[in-house]
Amino acid sequence: MGFLNWAAALAAASSLAISALPVYAETLTVATWGGSYAEAQDEAFFKPFAKTSKTDISIEEYNGGLGQIRSQIEASKVRWNIVDLDAADAVLGCNEGLFEKLDPETLAARKDFIEGAISGCAVGTAVWSTVIAVSTEAFSAKAPVSLRDFFDVTTYPGKRGLRKSPRVALEWALMADGVPAGEIYATLETEEGLDRAFAKLDTIAQHLEWWESGNQPAEWLADNKVVMTAAYSPRAYAAIAEWRAKTKEKNKAAPLSIIWDGQVWTVNYLAIPKGAGGGASAVEFIKFATDAEQQAALVRYLAYGPTRRSALEKVPEEVRGDLPTAPDNMKTALRYDPVWWRAQGNRINRRFSDWLAKASTGARTE
């Protein structure tokens, strides 16, 4: 099915899916991340819900974290009816009692959601991951295809990019060193395991460039600053899609490709702050945004993986393989553990800072 036909089919199916929604004459204020993410949500979620439910949607941008939510609740002036959260804030906020309880049974086909997408107070709507983006021009003869290749500077010479953080870098180091995904965090929790991870990073330390902004990986590949780099999956796919839209050479490979092996994935969630107004409307919106049709609609605007398996089936096959939740891409994937990082982060951040200082001067860690 062509993209335009698929879009038309989605629009028709979405109209049917939400025609039975109750009508609510009120406004819902949604706090979300802004940028292309909020724009995609607006097209896939906010506008369609507002049109059919007669409920206005007001969007407020925020940078994550729970501070503003706590302040609103403590002052009994909660102005956000719904908040889009990363996994760490969803877990911590639920544990602190910052969000209203949600009855999972109100969500149709709970088993249709991927593992971990539903909690007692938050529901996942989108999956994104950290992947390896590769310059296809740098490896025209033999291209890297695995996480281990990222650490193989002999076969695949050139600079690598990593986010300037121990998160993902350490997980990848252990995975590349042969630790199974299910044992990564238990291994990192030991001093021996942490030593092993840093020793693996030592092997490529002098080949690393450290980025701090999500737009840098694609720019660095385009500028030949690196030959492969960690990147956020939606941004990597966006760079490929932009090239495809501009090029007239349909048979030519894009200058950037994605290695899904060892992807580290996580989920964005929706939750209702404690004491927020909106009541039934807010719950209906979350049901709407997590409907399979709407999750598939989101992919039309941004390459986030749906949290519902049936939504993936509604995405065209030529797009499906570029999403984190595609079955083949999940085979060697690791789910990021925000709870573990909250508990261990301070200790490991200190160790990482020391290692980074030594690595930048060419000294090896002990």
d(C-alpha 103, C-alpha 319), whole Å: 33
d(C-alpha 270, C-alpha 340), whole Å: 21
| The pLDDT of residue 15 | 37
Lookup: tokens for 81: 């009816």
Question: Stretch 168-184: mean pLDDT, rounded?
Answer: 97
What confidence tens digit (pLDDT) does each residue in 79-132 have? Answer: 999 999 999 999 999 999 999 998 877 776 778 999 999 988 999 999 999 999
Whether the pLDDT of residue 329 is over 70: the answer is: yes
Are the C-beta atoms of 28 and 54 separated by less than 8 Å? no
CA dihedral 315, 320, 325, 328 (to 10 degrees): 140
Output the DSSP codes for 225-248: S-SEEEEEHHHHHHHHHHHHHH-S
d(C-alpha 41, C-alpha 289), whole Å: 9
Start-end ranges of CATH 3.40.190.10 in the chain? 3-127+267-327, 128-265+329-360
Which helix (DSSP H) or strand (DSSP E) does residue 129 occupy? strand 123-135
247: left (phi over 0), alpha (psi -120 to 50) or beta: beta
d(C-alpha 345, C-alpha 188), whole Å: 11
CATH number listed for the domain at residues 128-265+329-360: 3.40.190.10
Helices of type H across 54-119: 67-74, 87-96
Q: Which of 182, 159, 168 is nearest to 131 (CA)?
A: 168
- Whole-angstrom CA distances from 280 to 158, 228, 253, 284 are 55, 47, 49, 6
| Domain over 3-127+267-327 is classified CATH 3.40.190.10 | yes
DSSP 315: S
What confidence tens digit (pLDDT) does each residue in 110-125 have? Answer: 789 999 999 889 999 9
Q: How confident is the model at residue 26 (pLDDT cuts 50, 70, 90)?
A: confident
What confidence tens digit (pLDDT) does each residue in 191-250 have? Answer: 999 999 999 999 999 999 999 999 999 999 999 999 999 999 999 999 998 888 888 766
The pTM assigned to this predicted structure is 0.89
What confidence tens digit (pLDDT) does each residue in 227-243 have? Answer: 999 999 999 999 998 88
Instruction: Tell me which amino acid residue 318 is.
Output: E
d(C-alpha 247, C-alpha 242), whole Å: 9
Are the C-beta atoms of 306 and 312 separated by less than 8 Å? yes
| The pLDDT of residue 362 | 65
| The pLDDT of residue 22 | 47
What percentage of the chain carries pLDDT values higher than 90?
79
E strand spans, 136-217: 160-163, 208-211
